[in-house]
Amino acid sequence: MTQQCFTKQQSADGIVEQGTQVVMKNATRLCSTKPIVTINGKFPGPTIYAREDDTVLVKVVNHVKYNVSIHWHGVRQLRTGWADGPAYITQCPIQPGQVYVYNFTLTGQRGTLWWHAHILWLRATVHGALVILPKLGVPYPFPRPHMEQVIVLGEWWKSDTEAIINEALKSGLAPNVSDAHTINGHPGPVQGCQSQGGFNFKVEQGNTYLLRIVNAALNEELFFKIAGHQLTVVEVDAVYTKPFKTDTIVIAPGQTTNVLLTTNRGTGKYLVAASPFMDAPILKPKLKHLPCTGPTQDRPLLVLHRQPRNQPLRHLREREPRGGRFQQRLLRDAQDLSPPGTFLQHKRRLHRRFPREAPGDVQLHRHAAGELRDDERDEGVQARVNSTVQLVLQDTGMIAPENHPIHLHGFNFFVIGRGIGNFDPKKDPKKFNLVDPVERNTVGVPAGGWTAIRFRADNPGVWFMHCHLEIHTTWGLKMAFVVDNGKGPNESLLPPPSDLPEC
Ligand code: C2O
């Protein structure tokens, strides 16, 4: 087992400093070699270790031909939206040859999170784990593991991923699916191909290990399993859970899961496997059809849909070969405005653009806000600072119902309900779990069903929300929440750092 460490590690004063070089590197998998974009030449990228309440400084130097930005997935970024990372939302990208220092504090967070590129499809290879240990002297709320192991699940394409998505946008077809799933960068044994050997994890009998599992795959939900062993889930998305045992976990892109593994079986080799989750609705409900127009009282707040597969996306093809309309429009906005910039820089102006407000303090069933889709309207919704926002995320049967892992930047939310079929605003809220709902940053909306979440909008800024299947983000399953400054400095966004990249 090798741990990939950063060049500079934690210092005693609670500051973790890190230099990262974005560089191309040749990588061989499945008997074929291609250049990939990496951090410090590693795939997956290095794990960052820090402690709760540490300040993290990551200096990113861009040596590749692509624009780059890095998102710290799951980090709350209290008052530091400038360091959140999604390109054109909170920062202009770091251009080739440029440098940007991400500076943020891990306030009140501990557990496994991760980081990834947040522009184009670069996160296919630009990603890694972010391990936040509890404060010194604070134990885990479960038996102390003998050892810890980071497990990053990914996807591998033999060809260049930027070429794949560009092709798909030109043709209007769905992009090629990946050629392999990877565990810590290894695709596992391939017939007729002497690969570098799969991922091996040496354990001793009778010990307990903490596995920090990250799904960094672009487009696939995954099952994870270790032959003959039970796993005890103790944390998801850097929030401790009530421990429960299972032999298989399902993990969506964007999610993290910590499990305890006790090696209580005989000496031997046990297969560790990641395999894709196939979408199939549990039953065929009659789902809402689209498009929905205008707010109504009894509609879910957000309706999830996307451009249908296998149908030409003409406007995308003709007008925006790259990146989709949302980013293009932001770019256009940026050109219109002076100085040019991002959503976050022009937060005030967004108020005119996004007059709609998310429901305020627990106003159940007043669904008055935007839809997630590639459309000129509804790209952003305002939320009053410190208001409680409830969203019902409804999957629809546009072409085929499909599971969507929805990720919200800047907040954790509580998952208070979910169901199959259409959300019923009269009956379903009665079944909401307001006692011990799971808290996370990425949640699956079941195929042909709905999920209800709540969060407190206590973090001023502009916060992206999108499906973490990268192709769905590309196709437009995305929007942003605009949260105003509140009273006083503690409720206000800090001023932008002096090295914030320009567009
Ligand atoms: Cu992990 Cu906006 O993404």
From the alpha carbon of 253, which atom of ligand 1 is closest? 1
Each residue of 57-110: pLDDT tens digit?
A: 999 999 999 999 999 999 999 999 999 999 989 999 999 999 999 999 999 999
From the alpha carbon of 116, which atom of ligand 1 is closest? 1
- Sign of the CA dihedral 51, 52, 56, 62? positive
Point out the residues of the chain with pLDDT beneath 70. Answer: 1-12, 194-196, 279-340, 348-380, 396-401
CB of 86 sitting under 6 A from ligand 1: yes
CB of 114 sitting under 6 A from ligand 1: no
If you take atom 3 of ligand 1, which residue's CA is the nearest one?
A: 73
- Sign of the CA dihedral 152, 155, 159, 164? negative
CB of 299 sitting under 6 A from ligand 1: no
**One-letter amino acid identity for 313?**
L
Distance from the CA of 399 to the center of ligand 1, in angstroms? 25
Measured CA to CA, the distance from residue 47 to residue 265 in angstroms comes to: 30
- Answer yes or no: are the C-beta atoms of 80 and 487 closer than 8 Å: no
CB of 481 sitting under 6 A from ligand 1: no
Domains and CATH numbers, the chain: 7-139 (2.60.40.420), 163-276 (2.60.40.420), 325-483 (2.60.40.420)
CB of 29 sitting under 6 A from ligand 1: no
* Token pair belonging to 205: 């009998």
pLDDT score at 3: 33
CB of 127 sitting under 6 A from ligand 1: no
Distance from the CA of 90 to the center of ligand 1, in angstroms? 12
Distance from the CA of 407 to the center of ligand 1, in angstroms? 6
- Answer yes or no: are the C-beta atoms of 399 and 309 closer than 8 Å: yes
CB of 409 sitting under 6 A from ligand 1: yes
CB of 254 sitting under 6 A from ligand 1: yes
CB of 154 sitting under 6 A from ligand 1: no
pLDDT score at 291: 32
From the alpha carbon of 254, which atom of ligand 1 is closest? 1
CB of 71 sitting under 6 A from ligand 1: yes
In sequence order, what are the beta bridge partners of 130?
Answer: 48, 113
From the alpha carbon of 473, which atom of ligand 1 is closest? 2
From the alpha carbon of 74, which atom of ligand 1 is closest? 1
The closest alpha carbon to 271, from 235, 247, 246, belongs to 247
Distance from the CA of 328 to the center of ligand 1, in angstroms? 19
Measured CA to CA, the distance from residue 379 to residue 220 in angstroms comes to: 25
CB of 454 sitting under 6 A from ligand 1: no
Measured CA to CA, the distance from residue 326 to residue 317 in angstroms comes to: 14
CB of 448 sitting under 6 A from ligand 1: no
If you take atom 1 of ligand 1, which residue's CA is the nearest one?
A: 73
pLDDT score at 475: 78
For residue 163, what is the enclosing H or E element? helix 161-171
CB of 118 sitting under 6 A from ligand 1: yes
The closest alpha carbon to 421, from 391, 450, 452, 390, belongs to 450
CB of 85 sitting under 6 A from ligand 1: no
CB of 73 sitting under 6 A from ligand 1: yes
pLDDT score at 58: 96
Distance from the CA of 409 to the center of ligand 1, in angstroms? 7
Query: Could you please report the per-residue DSSP string of 243-266?
Result: EEEESEEEE-TT-EEEEEEE--S-
Each residue of 442-481: pLDDT tens digit?
A: 999 888 788 999 999 999 999 999 889 998 888 777 778 8
CB of 472 sitting under 6 A from ligand 1: no
CB of 404 sitting under 6 A from ligand 1: no
Distance from the CA of 63 to the center of ligand 1, in angstroms? 23
CB of 444 sitting under 6 A from ligand 1: no
Distance from the CA of 56 to the center of ligand 1, in angstroms? 18
From the alpha carbon of 442, which atom of ligand 1 is closest? 1
pLDDT score at 299: 36
Distance from the CA of 426 to the center of ligand 1, in angstroms? 33
* Token pair belonging to 470: 């990268």
CB of 288 sitting under 6 A from ligand 1: no
Distance from the CA of 209 to the center of ligand 1, in angstroms? 28
Torsion of CA 361, 365, 370, 372, to 10 degrees: 110
Distance from the CA of 366 to the center of ligand 1, in angstroms? 27
